[in-house]
């Protein structure tokens, strides 16, 4: 985290999050059997630019696309190519936006069509873990309170949280201090203060928490081939309830 944000900067951050939310909603409507990952990416890039923003992932450390599309045992950072989405796939979408120098980051998972009950439950539990973490993002709490809340939701449902990848501070850059792990102890880590901006992003695995990187250098998959789901929001710590800057699922 850098210095505190002034009002105009918070407005730019809010706009960044609104644009991201709008594009995620559009992407959600595209996820039907037969859609190609590359066409999701094309639409995402076009929509972001149409709304006056820039895709934050494109070119980030050489990443070649605007969106990450991760299927089934892919945890995160799947590169959209010619993969075709099928009925029953667990699809995770991750997107970052930069507007006027301010970054937001958000992700969701969905099971295409009916899928199986386990995949649907993994998605619901991961969403619940995200919101349990967000609830703890209040002044006076510490990062560990967020981490612990996320881990509890995942593990009491028999799932595991990925250790090797974490949430993060965000705002003037895509990744800032502090790290926001999805596992940890209450009362530990950085003290939360009003004005902090955090990307909270549980990655929850059906079986073991271990992951590995594919040969493309980006795609992270579960080591045991189990399913994985991912939800993320960028939030602003306020005096009261956290403000979800990238909200889009309701309304
Ligand atoms: N949302 C991802 C994260 O915070 C960022 C993806 S980086 C990219 O970890 F290079 F893959 F785009
Ligand atoms: Co992130």
Q: What is the pLDDT along the chain (251 residues), one digit of tens a residue?
A: 556 788 899 999 999 999 999 999 999 999 999 999 999 999 999 999 999 999 999 999 999 999 999 999 999 999 999 999 999 999 999 999 999 999 999 999 999 998 999 999 999 999 999 999 999 999 999 999 999 999 999 999 999 999 999 999 999 999 999 999 999 999 999 999 999 999 999 999 999 999 999 999 999 999 999 999 999 999 999 999 999 999 999 75
Contact 189/143 with Cβ under 8 angstroms? Answer: yes
Answer whether 105 contacts ligand 1 (Cβ < 6 A): yes
Contact 181/167 with Cβ under 8 angstroms? Answer: yes
Dump the DSSP string for 171-228: SSSSSEEEEE-SS--TT-SSBP-TT-EEEE--EEESS-S-EEE-TTSS-EEETT---E
What is the reported pLDDT for 235?
A: 98
Residues 6+ apart with CB under 8 A from 250: none
Answer whether 63 contacts ligand 1 (Cβ < 6 A): yes
Pocket test for ligand 1, best of 65, 77, 178 (most atoms within 8 A of CB): 77
pLDDT in tens, 140-173: 999 999 999 999 999 999 999 999 999 999 999 9
Q: Where are the domains of the chain?
A: 7-240
Q: How far is the CA of 16 from the centre of ligand 2 (A)?
A: 14
Answer whether 62 contacts ligand 1 (Cβ < 6 A): no
The CA angle 217-130-114, to the nearest 5 degrees, is 80
Question: pTM, whole model, 2 decimals?
Answer: 0.97
Q: In this structure, which ligand is nearest to the CA of 165?
A: 1
Cα–Cα distances in angstroms (integers) from residue 186 to residues 126, 133, 169, 180, 201, in the given order: 19, 12, 19, 13, 18
Contact 69/93 with Cβ under 8 angstroms? Answer: yes
Q: CA-CA distance, 143 to 171, in Å (whole number)?
A: 17
Answer whether 94 contacts ligand 1 (Cβ < 6 A): yes
pLDDT in tens, 199-227: 999 999 999 999 999 999 999 999 999 99
For the CA of 63, the nearest atom of ligand 1:
10
Among residues 211, 158, 145, 155, the alpha carbon closest in space to that of 184 is found at 145
Pocket test for ligand 1, best of 75, 104, 105, 246 (most atoms within 8 A of CB): 105
What is the reported pLDDT for 3?
A: 63
Q: Report H helices in the chain.
A: 7-30, 37-50, 117-135, 143-156
Q: Tell me phi and psi for residue 149, to 5 degrees.
A: -60, -40
Q: How far is the CA of 209 from the centre of ligand 1 (A)?
A: 19
The radius of gyration computed from the CA coordinates of the chain, to the nearest angstrom, equals 17
Q: Are strands 233-236 and 243-244 parallel, antiparallel or unpaired?
A: antiparallel
Contact 110/91 with Cβ under 8 angstroms? Answer: yes
Q: CA-CA distance, 7 to 29, in Å (whole number)?
A: 33
Give CATH for domain 7-240: 3.90.230.10
What is the reported pLDDT for 108?
A: 98
For the CA of 95, the nearest atom of ligand 1:
1
């Amino acid at each position: 985290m850098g210095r505190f944000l002034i009002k105009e900067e918070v407005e730019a951050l809010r706009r960044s999050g609104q644009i991201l939310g709008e594009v995620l909603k559009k992407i959600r409507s595209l996820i039907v059997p037969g859609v190609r990952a590359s066409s999701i990416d094309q639409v995402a890039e076009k929509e972001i630019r149409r709304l006056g923003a820039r895709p934050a992932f494109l070119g980030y450390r050489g990443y070649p696309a605007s969106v990450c599309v991760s299927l089934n045992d892919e945890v995160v950072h799947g590169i959209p190519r010619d993969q075709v989405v099928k009925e029953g796939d667990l699809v995770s979408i991750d997107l970052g936006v930069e507007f006027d120098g301010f970054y937001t980051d958000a992700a969701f998972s969905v099971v295409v069509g009916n899928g199986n009950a386990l995949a649907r439950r993994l998605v619901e539990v991961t969403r619940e873990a995200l919101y349990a973490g967000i609830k703890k993002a209040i002044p006076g709490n510490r990062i560990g309170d967020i981490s612990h809340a996320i881990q509890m939701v995942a593990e009491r449902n028999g799932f595991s949280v990925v250790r090797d990848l974490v949430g993060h501070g965000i705002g003037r850059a895509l990744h800032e201090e502090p790290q926001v792990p999805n596992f940890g102890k209450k009362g530990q880590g950085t003290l939360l203060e009003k004005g902090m901006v955090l990307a909270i992003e549980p990655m929850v695995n059906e079986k073991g928490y271990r992951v590995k990187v594919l040969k493309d250098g980006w795609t992270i998959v579960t080591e045991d081939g189990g399913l994985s789901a991912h939800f993320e929001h960028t939030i602003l710590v306020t005096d009261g309830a956290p403000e979800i800057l990238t909200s889009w699922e309701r309304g």
